[in-house]
C-alpha cells in the first residue's frame, strides 16, 4: 500500500475584488460600477452585476440562508460545485464573510485554492462548476440572499480531501 505524504497549506484571505475573483465568478457590488437612472430619476440601477446560469428545464429560485460561524483557523475538508447552474450569495445584514474557491476541474487541487475576505456590501456569484466552500459567515445568525437553480438532477457535487491533506483557512480576524 502506497503511503500518501501529508500536505499542509495555509490560506490567507485576500481582499475580494472583481479582478481577483473573475476566474471563479462575479463580485456583486455597486461601488465603482456604472449605473443609469430609472423611476423618474429617483433610483440608480446598477445593471447586470452578475449573470445567472441554469440548464434548460431548470428555473432560478431565491432563498435565504442563515449561517453560523465556524471555528478558525479552519481545516477545509471539502469543497462543492454546482454543475447545472450558478449560485449567488448576497449578505442581507451587512456583515463581512469569507469565500473559498478553486478553479473548474474534475476535482479541486489544494494548491489552487484561494480565499477572499468579502465586505458586507459585496456578494459573489459562483459560475457553474466552480469549486467553493459552503457559506463562511463570521457573525452568528448571519443571513444571505441566495440565487440558485431548481430542477431535475443533482446540482451539488462534493469533494472531500484526503485525511492527510490540511488546507488551513487562517484569517487575520
For the chain, the structural domain boundaries read 7-169
Q: What is the pLDDT of residues 79-99, one digit of tens each?
A: 999 999 999 999 999 999 999
Instruction: Please name the residues in contact with 49: beta carbons below 8 A apart, sequence gap of 6 or more.
Output: 26, 28, 29, 30, 33
Q: What is the DSSP letter of 85?
A: B
Pick the CATH number of 7-169 from 3.40.630.30, 3.20.20.70, 3.40.50.11030, 2.60.120.480: 2.60.120.480
Instruction: Please name the residues in contact with 116: beta carbons below 8 A apart, sequence gap of 6 or more.
Output: 13, 14, 15, 16, 20, 21, 98, 99, 100, 101, 124
> What's this model's pTM, rounded to 2 decimal places?
0.92
- Cell numbers representing residue 135 in the block: 457559506
Q: What is the pLDDT of residues 144-155, one digit of tens each?
A: 999 999 999 899
- Cell numbers representing residue 158 in the block: 462534493
Amino acid at each position: 500500500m502506497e503511503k500518501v505524504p501529508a500536505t499542509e497549506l495555509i490560506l490567507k484571505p485576500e481582499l475580494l475584488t472583481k479582478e481577483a475573483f473573475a476566474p471563479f465568478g462575479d463580485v456583486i457590488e455597486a461601488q465603482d460600477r456604472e449605473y443609469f437612472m430609472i423611476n423618474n430619476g429617483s433610483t440608480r440601477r446598477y445593471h447586470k452585476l452578475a449573470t445567472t446560469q441554469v440548464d434548460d428545464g431548470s428555473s432560478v429560485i431565491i432563498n435565504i440562508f442563515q449561517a453560523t460561524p465556524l471555528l478558525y483557523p479552519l481545516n477545509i475538508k471539502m469543497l462543492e460545485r454546482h454543475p447545472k447552474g450558478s449560485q449567488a450569495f448576497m449578505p442581507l445584514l451587512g456583515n463581512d464573510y469569507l469565500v473559498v474557491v478553486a478553479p473548474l476541474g474534475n476535482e479541486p487541487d489544494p494548491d489552487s485554492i484561494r480565499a477572499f475576505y468579502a465586505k458586507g456590501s459585496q456578494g459573489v456569484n459562483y459560475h457553474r462548476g466552480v469549486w467553493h466552500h459552503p457559506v463562511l459567515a463570521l457573525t452568528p445568525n448571519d443571513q444571505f440572499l441566495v440565487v440558485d437553480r431548481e430542477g431535475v438532477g443533482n446540482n451539488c457535487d462534493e469533494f472531500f480531501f484526503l485525511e492527510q491533506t490540511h488546507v488551513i483557512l487562517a484569517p487575520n480576524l
